[in-house]
Amino acid sequence: MPNAQYQPPADHCYINRELSWLEFNRRVLEEAKTESHPLLERVKFLSIFVTNLDEFFMIRVSGLRKQIESGVSGEAFDGLSPEATLHQITKVLQEQIKEHSETWRNLIPLLHKNGISILNYADLNANQRQIATHYFKREVFPVLTPLAVDPGHPFPRISNLSLNLAVVFNDEAGSYSGHRQERFARIKVPPLLPRLIRVDSLRTQQTDYIGQGDPDAENMCFVWIEQVIAANIHALFPGVQIISTHTFRVTRDTDVEIQWDEASDLLSTVQSQVRDRRFGSVVRLEIDHGMPETIRRTLTDQLDLEALDVYPIQGTLNLSSVMELLKLNMPRLKDTPILPKLPSRLNRGERSIFDIIREGDLLLHHPYDSFSPVEDFIQSAATDPHVLAIKLTMYRAGSSRGDQRLPIVQSLIDAVDNGKQVAVMVELKARFDEENNIGWARALEEAGVHVVYGLPQIKVHAKVAMAVRKEADGMRRYVHLSTGNYNASTAKIYTDLGLFTCDDNIGEDATHLFNYLTGYSRHRDFNHLFVAPISLRQSMLGLIQQEIVQHHKTGNGHIIFKLNALVDPEVINTLYTASQEGVKVDLIVRGICCLCPGVLGLSENIRVISIVGRFLEHSRIYYFHNNGNEKIYLSSADMMQRNIDRRVEVAFPLLDPTVRVEVRDHVLLFALKDNVKARELNADGFYTRVQAQPNVQNFDSQREQMRLR
C-alpha cells in the first residue's frame, strides 16, 4: 500500500533527483562527443539533449516553481529546498549549455568534410543568397505574421517552444512628434517549414530543401531559416529602419492538472487541457548571447521572469532541429540499421501463435527481437473464431502511419466487426501523448470497442494484453505482459522485454486486473502479479528483506535491479540495509538515481552503473538470488513514489527457468559486464566511465545483444 508518511533517516545519504537527471543528460551529451559513433549519430545525441532538457523544464522546473510560489520552503529528503534546487540547476546548466554549443561548433567542420555544410547567412556566396531569397519569397514570406508591440498592440502570446525573432526598428512615421521612435516586433519562425534550408542549388519542391534522396547528397549546403528571415526582414517592414534582430525561445509549464471533482467528462477535460498547454506560465527564456539588455528586459518583464530564468546561448538556439539531418540519405554517416529477428520458435509453419504459447512461455527482447509478434498476437486474436474476448491497456501507442491506423488499433476494430468483446483501457493522461490517445480512443469508441479512460487521480501505466480463447479443454487465457508500450516505433529504439504466457494463475490475475480497471472490483490478492498501488511496494520490499534473511543463512545474497529511475526513499533505505547486512547489490539505473553507492558503513556493497548507448535502456528487471532459487520480476514500474503509489503498474514473474536464465545471463550480466557504454556512479553524484581492465576485451552490451541475433 502507499506509504506517504515514510520519513528517511536523517543520517542517510541521498542525491538530489533533479541534479541526478541533469547528470543523465550530461551522459547523453557525452555520446555526442564520442568519436566512435557515426557522425550523424553524434548529431542525433545533440538533438536528444535539447529535447530532454525541454521536457525537464516543462515538467520538473515548472513543478519547482509551483512549490516556491506556494510557499514550500522545507527541504526534501535529499536536503535541498525547491529554491536551492532551482539555483543548483541554473549553475549546472550554465556549464552544460556552453559544452553543448561547443560540441555543435566542433561537429560543423566534420560535417563539412563529409559533404554537409551548415552555413551562416553571412557566409553565403551570391548564388546561395539568391537561392535563399527565392525560397523566402515563395515559401516563407506568405506565412509570416509580424506582431508589433506598442500601446495599440499588446505583447503577443508566445506559444511553448516556438522559435521567434525580436525585431527592433525606428519608426518615424508612427511618432506624433515626427521624431524616430524605437519599436519592437515579434515574428514567429514557421514551425512547419524545415529549419535548415538547402542553398546549393535552386529547387522547386519544398521537401528538396532537406535533401532527402537527392542524387548529389554528398555535397549539400544549408542555412538556418531564421537567418534567412532576418536577412529579408525589410520585406516585412517596408520603409522602416531596422536596427537589429535577435532570436529567442520560451518554455512553458505543460504539466496537465485535472480537478477531478470538476471533470465529469475526462475525454473533453484532457482535450481542453492539452489546448491550454501551449500557453502555460513561462519557466525559461532562451536568447541569443548578443541580445541587448533593453530587449532582454522587455521580454523578461512581459513574460514575468527573473534573471535566473534567462539562458543566453552562444550560438544557434534550439538545436533539437538538427535531427532533420538524420533524414539525409547518407548511410555511411549513420549506424547500420538493425534487422530485428524472430525467435526460432516463431518460425512456426502452420502453427498459430496460440499453439506456440501453449508450448511454454515466450520472451521477446526489443529492439533485437521484432515487435511484429505482438501485433500478430492481437491480429490473430481478432480473426481466430475461437477467441471470444480481447482486453488491452494503451499508454503510448504512438501516432498514425500516414493515413493508416496503427496495426494494433485496426486489429481491435476488426475484432469488434468479427463479433468479439473488446475492452481497451486508454490512458488519456499519458504525458505528451494525450492528443494521440484521444484520437485512438475516439476511433475505438466509434467502432464499438468498450473504452475506459483510466482511474481518478491514478495513471494506468501497466502494459497488459489478454485474449480469451475457447478450446477443447475449456477457456484459456493468453496474456502478453511487457516493460514497454504497445508502440511499434519505440520498440525499434527502446530496449524492452515482453512475455507471452498462458499460465492459468497469471491469466486469472490479468482478469482481476482488467476488472479493477474497467469496473468496481476491489480484488487485492493476486497469485503472481504485484500490482501498484495495491501490493507492489510491500512485495518488493519484502523480497529485499527475504534476500537479507537468506544471506544470513548462506552468505551469498545478491540483488540486481535494472531500471530507469531509483528515487523512492523507502526502497533506497531498504537497499542500504541490505548492503549493511552484507548483501551484494548491483544497480543498473539509466537515468535518475538518488542512492549514494560506496559510502562506508552505509552502501559499500552497492554498485551503480548507467548505460547510455545506441538504444534507450527502458526495461525494468528485479533479480533476487534467493540462495540459487532465483526470482526475477519484469515490470512497467520504476522505483519512484509516483510509480509505486500513484499509478497502476504491474510486476510479473518469470516462471519458466529457461526464460529466467536468458534474462539473467543475456541482459543483466551483459549490462554488468559493459565497459564501453557504462558509467559508474560515485557517492558525490557524478559518473565516471567504466574502464576495461588489463587483458580484458571491450564489451558493449548492446552490440553483444545484436551479435546474439
Write out the catalytic residue numbers: 461
Task: Answer for the pair 181, 159: CB distance below 8 angstroms, yes or no.
Answer: no
Task: Answer for the pair 346, 436: CB distance below 8 angstroms, yes or no.
Answer: no
Distance from C-alpha of 342 to C-alpha of 376, rounded to nearest angstrom:
12
Cis bond before residue 533 (omega within 30° of 0): yes
Task: Answer for the pair 354, 378: CB distance below 8 angstroms, yes or no.
Answer: no
How do strand 241-252 and strand 494-501 relate by DSSP bridges? unpaired
- 196's CB contacts (< 8 A; 6+ apart) are 118, 209, 210, 222, 223, 224, 225, 321, 322, 324, 325
Q: Quote the DSSP letter at residue 566.
A: B
Phi-psi category of 213—alpha, beta or left, where left has phi over 0 and alpha has psi -120 to 50?
left
Measured from the Cβ of residue 169, the count of other Cβ atoms closer than 10 Å reads 21
Question: Is the CA virtual torsion 123, 125, 126, 127 positive or negative?
Answer: negative
Helical axes 39-55 vs 17-32, angle rounded to 10° = 160
Phi, psi torsion values for 148, nearest 5 degrees: -75, 155
Classify burial at 513, counting beta carbons within 10 Å of its beta carbon; exposed 0-12, middle 13-18, buried 19 or more. buried
Phi, psi torsion values for 633, nearest 5 degrees: -120, 135
Cis bond before residue 367 (omega within 30° of 0): yes
Report the SS3 class of residue 701: helix
527: amino acid identity, one letter: N
Report the b/e string of 464-480 with b at 16+ CB within 10 A. bbbbbbeeeeeebbbbb
Task: Answer for the pair 343, 364: CB distance below 8 angstroms, yes or no.
Answer: yes
Cell of 151: 500601446
Distance from C-alpha of 645 to C-alpha of 6, rounded to nearest angstrom:
12
Helical axes 82-113 vs 39-55, angle rounded to 10° = 160
121: amino acid identity, one letter: Y
Distance from C-alpha of 274 to C-alpha of 33, rounded to nearest angstrom:
36
CA 541 to the chain's CA centroid: 27
3-state secondary structure 497-533: EEEEECCHHHHHHHHHHHHHHHCCCCCCCCCCCEEEC
The alpha carbon torsion through 229, 230, 232, 233 (nearest 10 deg) reads 100
Q: Which one, of 703, 491, 486, lies nearest residue 614 by Cα?
A: 703
Distance from C-alpha of 634 to C-alpha of 616, rounded to nearest angstrom:
17
DSSP secondary structure, 163-223, as one string: EEEEEEEE-STT-TTSS--EEEEEEEPPTTS-SEEE-SS--SSGGGGGTTT-TTTTSEEEE
Q: Which one, of 184, 121, 165, 129, lies nearest residue 317 by Cα?
A: 165
Task: Answer for the pair 248, 210: CB distance below 8 angstroms, yes or no.
Answer: no
